[in-house]
Amino acid sequence: MKQLSDVQLLKTRSFINGQWQKNSSTFDVINPANNERVATVDNAGIEETELAVIAAKAALTLWSKKSANERAILLRRWFDLVMENKDDLGRILTLEQGKPLAEAIGEVSYGAAFIEWFAEEGKRVYGDTIAAPSADKRIIVIKQPVGVVAAITPWNFPNAMIARKAAAALAAGCTFVVRPATLTPLSALALAELAQRAGIPDGVFNVVVGKDSAGMGKVLTQHPDVAKFTFTGSTGVGKKLLTQCATTVKKVSMELGGNAPFIVFDDADIDAAVAGAIVSKYRNAGQTCVCTNRILVQDTIADSFIEKFSQAVKNLSLGEGFTPGVNVGPMISIAAIEDVNNLVKLSIEAGATLIAGGKVDEKGDKFYQPTILINVSNDMPIASNEIFGPVAPIITFTSEEEAIALANDTEYGLAAYFYARDIGRVWRVAEGLDFGMIGINEGIISNAAAPFGGVKQSGNGREGSKYGLDDYLEIKYLCMGGI
């Protein structure tokens, strides 16, 4: 099961200007499920990151001058190769990240969908002509690629977060340098191998893997040849990177943390709400920015919801990602487990009641049991912090106004979910929630056709959809006179 059909997809060196870069020092990639070494990877640093930026700059002229059709053909080939190799890419992803194999293969297809989407969308970059204020002038607006794009991507989606950014950047005519998380560099390197096989020219897509996050991050956020910086990760780190980007006034887009409320109103289909809450909460062991962070249930239906939800949580299968039937895998690290455990402990001390899980499972040191806390209030640590783990805190409310106020009482604004049937309520709540994405009677909302992104301290910019190209394009205004 864990054997790759194509062992050439397991790459262990940075990919710069079409070359696999050797380094003298190395680091190990560890399988979080069993703490075994998956691979030893060459450790790049500041120097290699600079080389990658220089390569991306050199490749920009030719790449940006290709027609959108020419770029689309290469991106489409890349998409085809990713899909042809999705089982192997899924295996690599499960080995380094831990998520169940079916979910890992699902992530690969999800990532590939962005490559397919932007291959097409790149052909639909439109400009404008605007009525000029005087008869001897014409106003024209054209759109051009921003330039070299630098990205830092997280361990929770080692494939899709790169594909989502790179596909839009490349389709727009930009070149790309990514530093993936050092916990999960193998998926990124496999994508580079397939980009090369697809015929994407040297220097257009570069991957630098290395432990010096501060040093490499400085290059990517401050190098004068980087025109745009994009990051997916925590709000805390995002703020530091934003500050660094200010020194050269880069165009930025940030997909940062979330604290998603999942609201169940008294007119909801409770079974559907339970099913939505389960996938939205326990997907990727709760380690996504859009995972449900707080379940808000109307008091009149709370008992019935909690009973059904508890039963569904009992049916979840926690285990190693290659075991058939497993739907909740390990967490990424001991530190992540400790953070979650601490939030649970503090909230129980503050009055919450544990009704399921609440501890590390005997399956191993990274396996945290799917957990439910009731009698939670919005100011408890488990509700006010981004949990990033398989814990569902349940809060009750009385009225629609109270639910909206509780939901919005956070500095985050990424995703929110609610279940209701009354059409007036659906509109009121959808419009009242201060979040960039709202799932209405739906627990999984991410797809290539939709604009992914947040408001407030959850970031800026949008990824995917027709809006996703805008972050990689500059608007240029041409004023023609003397007519």
Q: CB-wise, 79 or 157, nearer to ligand SIN?
A: 157
187 binds ligand SIN (CB under 6 A): no
Of 221, 232, 327, 384, the one binding ligand SIN by CB under 6 A: 232
Site string for ligand SIN, 369-398 (x = CB under 6 A): ------------------------------
Stretch that binds ligand SIN, among 18-26, 128-136, 282-290, 366-374 (CB under 6 A): 282-290
User: Three-state SS for 331?
Assistant: coil
Q: CB-wise, 186 or 290, nearer to ligand SIN?
A: 290
Q: Which helix (H) or strand (E) holds 50?
A: helix 46-65
Stretch that binds ligand SIN, among 22-30, 40-48, 283-291, 376-384 (CB under 6 A): 283-291
- Residue among 308, 311, 285 at smallest CA distance from 297: 308
Stretch that binds ligand SIN, among 273-281, 284-292, 307-315, 396-404 (CB under 6 A): 284-292
Distances (CA, A) of 77 to 119, 133, 140: 10, 46, 34
Q: CB-wise, 215 or 451, nearer to ligand SIN?
A: 451
Residue type, 221: T
The dihedral over CA atoms of 373, 374, 380, 386, expressed in degrees to the nearest 10, equals 50
Q: What's the rounded Cα separation, in Å, for the pair 313 and 391?
A: 10
288 binds ligand SIN (CB under 6 A): yes
289 binds ligand SIN (CB under 6 A): yes
Q: Which residues are catalytic?
A: 255, 289
**HSE-up of residue 336 (Cα within 13 Å, Cβ side):** 22
E-assigned strands of 25-78? 26-30, 37-42
Of 157, 231, 388, 417, the one binding ligand SIN by CB under 6 A: 157
- Residue among 103, 66, 381, 53 at smallest CA distance from 217: 53
Stretch that binds ligand SIN, among 96-104, 286-294, 348-356, 433-441 (CB under 6 A): 286-294
Q: CB-wise, 397 or 417, nearer to ligand SIN?
A: 417
Q: Determine contact, residues 15/42, Cβ cutoff 8 Å.
A: no
Q: CB 477 → ligand SIN: shortest distance, Å?
A: 34
Q: CB 132 → ligand SIN: shortest distance, Å?
A: 43
231 binds ligand SIN (CB under 6 A): no
Q: Determine contact, residues 463/300, Cβ cutoff 8 Å.
A: no
User: Three-state SS for 87?
Assistant: helix
Q: CB 452 → ligand SIN: shortest distance, Å?
A: 6
33 binds ligand SIN (CB under 6 A): no
Would you list the DSSP string of 308-331? HHHHHHHT--BS-TTSTT--B---
Q: Determine contact, residues 255/459, Cβ cutoff 8 Å.
A: yes
Q: CB 106 → ligand SIN: shortest distance, Å?
A: 11
Q: CB-wise, 221 or 287, nearer to ligand SIN?
A: 287
Would you list the DSSP string of 392-452? EEEEEESSHHHHHHHHH-SS--SEEEEE---HHHHHHHHHH---SEEEES-S----TTS-B
Q: Determine contact, residues 270/311, Cβ cutoff 8 Å.
A: no
Q: CB-wise, 289 or 433, nearer to ligand SIN?
A: 289
Please report, as residue ranges, which positions from 315 to 354 form the binding site for ligand SIN (by CB under 6 A): none
290 binds ligand SIN (CB under 6 A): yes
Residue 275 DSSP symbol: H
Residue type, 144: Q
Q: CB 116 → ligand SIN: shortest distance, Å?
A: 16
Of 21, 85, 156, 396, the one binding ligand SIN by CB under 6 A: 156
Would you list the DSSP string of 90-136? HHHHHHHH---HHHHHHHHHHHHHHHHHHHHHGGG---EEE--SSTT
Q: Determine contact, residues 230/165, Cβ cutoff 8 Å.
A: yes
Residue type, 431: E
252 binds ligand SIN (CB under 6 A): no
Q: CB-wise, 146 or 415, nearer to ligand SIN?
A: 415
Q: What's the rounded Cα separation, in Å, for the pair 317 and 90?
A: 19
Q: CB-wise, 175 or 235, nearer to ligand SIN?
A: 235
446 binds ligand SIN (CB under 6 A): yes
Of 116, 193, 255, 386, the one binding ligand SIN by CB under 6 A: 255
CA distance between the termini of the chain = 70
184 binds ligand SIN (CB under 6 A): no
> Contact positions toward ligand SIN, by CB under 6 A?
156-157, 232, 255, 288-290, 446, 452
